[in-house]
Structure 1
Amino acid sequence: MAAKRRIAFDLNEFKKKYCLLQNIPNVFAYNLNVSESKYLPGTCKFYAELNPERTQLRRHPQTISSLRPKFDENMFNFKKINPNEQLMQITYNDIKVDMIINRSPLTPFHTLIIPDLNGEHAQHITIVSLNFSIRLLLDLQETTFRIGYNSPGALASVNHLHLHLINLDKVLYIDIAELELISEDYIYRLHPHMPTEAICFVVDKSDSEILLDVKIKQIYDFVMWLCENNFPHNIFMTKCINSINKLKIFIYYRQEFCVIKDLSYYNIAFCELSGYVPVGDKSLFDKLTEKDVIERIQNESGKISKNIYDYFNKKM
């Protein structure tokens, strides 16, 4: 049976509750205050923001050393949050999806999507979480909301399944990056002359239930293949800038397994790979260049072998 397309999510109610929580002491680690921002000079449109509080006040990230980690009740997990951090709970295909604030926000309305919170799922993507996230963004009329996911080894901070809903009203590198068709009529890669590598699936609100389910299953199967072959990965979902009804799902893959975040610098996760670079240090922000970011991305990601693209020649 095809999954339900509509999700009972009231964006106005969500925003109202989020704003109310900002007035309650000790819910957020800080009040978001991006003191400076800029596009880095160059051709890629990398956008940087200075947000020192996140560097100073966020929870220390966990070390997750496996792409298929086990849930550890003794470590911090989202069952241990302050109840005031919960915004709402949505029933989706018999699963309860919790929307909780990110208490150390990057953007306005930065929220964590926690599918089946009490199911104690480790930070390993599920087809339910992909279905929910993709359908949620397809239904939203605002183009500024994006969803991201970091796998273990690709800067995941908490070993409890979660995705990030962020709100960023900026054109990013990934919004305008050139694509090259590799399979079907909706599976692309970033063009070889682009400075980063990723696979991109395009889904459309006009897709039939059957086709949408097929696309999501293809995304899930590819991510599972990455796990089986020890490729850490990041996911970024964003509306197409020329069509509010189309959604691009980028899957970045990495050769190198990174388990520790350097909180004194900036890290390469789904935000940075997509062209959004939050920085916590003023001196670093002032001297940051597009070349610096690209070199750091390429050094952390490593050169991807051809078998990534062979996957689609064999499977699709």
Structure 2
Amino acid sequence: MFQLFQYHESDFVVSTEPWDDSKPHCSKFDEEVQLRWDQAMEDGHFRYRLDNIERRVLEGEKHYVVELNEKRAKERRRPQPVKSVQEPFNPNVFNFNKIKPEEILFSIHKHESQSDVNACSLGKDDKVDGKVTEKGERSLVVINVSPLGYGHVLLVPNVEACLPQVLTESAIKLALEAMLLSAHRGFRIGFNSLCALASVNHLHFHAYYLDEELFIEYCKVATFSGICYELKTTPVRGFAVQLYGSNVSRVARVLHSVSSYFTRENIAHNMFISRGTRFGEGRGSKERTVRVIVWPRTSQCGDTTGGLFNAAAVELAGHLPIKESEGFQELVEADVEKSLSEISLSHEEFLTLKQNLKEII
């Protein structure tokens, strides 16, 4: 039986330190993720190590972070073939109920009452009649056996419900709370829908640590509708929401309304959650909050092995794992911008989408 990580809202870290020369802070959550991830690496549960990852920050306005990770390109699990954002869960193919026990770091559960939990506690994940004793749900933090970076894990909400890779409001809320449990400025969480480079049709998020600032965390936005804003300076058109001035439940509700519209209309999409400056603040501001970026984009349902890099959530956010050494040193910002812009919705498509979204958020 593996460990249960219990938390309460009082454990949330509202703001992280700015990007400077100071050492990143770690919360109890960070310590548990990193300790258990390191042990899994030492015990050989990954397909490869991350000992020789070469990193560059490209010159230019966006400061794209590129990393040469040839092993991930060659050794990761081949994505499951899909034709639609709405494909149902298939129990006969790989899913996260089929992983090895050694790949599970812990299950994670929120207590609604502070009196029920003693601050980020760990205990046994006991089950009664096949169900977790509280609420009958089990959400897992598991290693990604083909890591893109340090601490790369998967957050799998309600794993035994066998949900397809479609965002639910409760799953978005769990991801936001996981972000708030971290005190590390470089902790990020991403989501890829089907046809937007999700490789497994079982609801999950990617999470990892990267101690580099990303452009998406301080880029300019413009008012759109309510707490939802529009990206203005990114190569892929999209939307942004911040936690500042709102709360987890409202942010999750708005993001679910947006993503549900995308799913109904069979529009592929990516989501990225990270720490960043408050909207309207400059890059150097110490006023920091949680930012969530959502990109509707063109569908990519076929082979994704070509090209120097993919265009999923982390790449759209400005962190690009590069597949092969040839071209890595020559890559410049203009190349990245051109490649990413190719998966953006057109101006006309995005305008229509905005008009439809305004009616539901």
What TM-score, normalized to structure 2? 0.79
Q: Indicate conservation of the 8 Å contact 1:34/1:49, yes or no.
A: no
- In the TM superposition, 1:187-266 aligns within 5 A as 187-191=228-232, 193-204=233-244, 207=246, 211-241=247-277, 242=285, 246-262=289-305, 265-266=308-309
Q: Indicate conservation of the 8 Å contact 2:190/2:314, yes or no.
A: yes
Give the aligned partner of residue 38 of structure 2: 19
Counterpart selection for 1:160 from 188, 192, 202: 202
Give the aligned partner of residue 222 of structure 2: 180
Q: Indicate conservation of the 8 Å contact 2:86/2:266, yes or no.
A: no
Q: Are residue 119 (structure 1) and residue 161 (structure 2) matched? A: yes
Give 1 or 2: higher helix fraction: 1
Q: Distance in 2 between matches of 1:273 and 1:142?
A: 21
**CA spacing shift, 1:216–1:71, aligned 2, 3 Å:** same
What amino acid maps onto 1:15 in structure 2?
Answer: Q
How many residues are treated as equivalent by the alignment? 306
How many Å apart are 1:77 and its aligned residue? 1.1
What amino acid maps onto 2:240 in structure 1?
Answer: C
What 5-or-longer segments of structure 2 have no aligned partner? 1-7, 13-27, 112-134, 278-284
Larger Rg: 2
How many Å apart are 1:294 and its aligned residue? 1.4
Q: Indicate conservation of the 8 Å contact 1:18/1:101, yes or no.
A: yes
How many Å apart are 1:134 and its aligned residue? 0.5
Counterpart selection for 1:308 from 353, 357, 360: 353
Give the aligned partner of residue 105 of structure 1: 147
Query: What is the SS of the residue equivalent to 1:147?
Result: strand
Q: Indicate conservation of the 8 Å contact 1:40/1:290, yes or no.
A: yes
Q: How big is each residue's C-alpha offset from its partner over 1:88-126, in whole Å with a ceiling of 9 and x where there is no partner?
A: 011247331100001111111100001111111111111
Q: How big is each residue's C-alpha offset from its partner over 1:50-102, in whole Å with a ceiling of 9 and x where there is no partner?
A: 01111121111111221111111111111111210100011247331100001
Query: What is the SS of the residue equivalent to 1:314?
Result: coil
Quick check: 8-17 or 101-110, which moved more? Answer: 8-17
Q: Indicate conservation of the 8 Å contact 1:155/1:259, yes or no.
A: no
Q: Are residue 292 (structure 1) and residue 342 (structure 2) matched? A: no
Query: What is the SS of the residue equivalent to 2:274?
Result: strand
Q: Indicate conservation of the 8 Å contact 1:6/1:139, yes or no.
A: no
**CA spacing shift, 1:59–1:10, aligned 2, 3 Å:** same
**CA spacing shift, 1:5–1:250, aligned 2, 3 Å:** same
Q: Distance in 2 between matches of 1:70 and 1:10?
A: 33
Counterpart selection for 1:277 from 285, 297, 320: 320
**Post-superposition, which runs of at least 4 consecutive aligned residues in structure 1 deviate over 2 A?**
4-11, 91-95, 193-196, 241-245, 255-260, 311-316
Q: Distance in 2 between matches of 1:246 and 1:178?
A: 15
Aligned alpha-carbon RMSD (Å): 2.1
Q: Distance in 2 between matches of 1:265 and 1:297?
A: 12
How many Å apart are 1:37 and its aligned residue? 1.2
What TM-score, normalized to structure 1? 0.90
Q: Percent identity?
A: 26
Query: What is the SS of the residue equivalent to 1:88?
Result: strand
Q: Distance in 1 between matches of 2:65 and 2:84?
A: 31
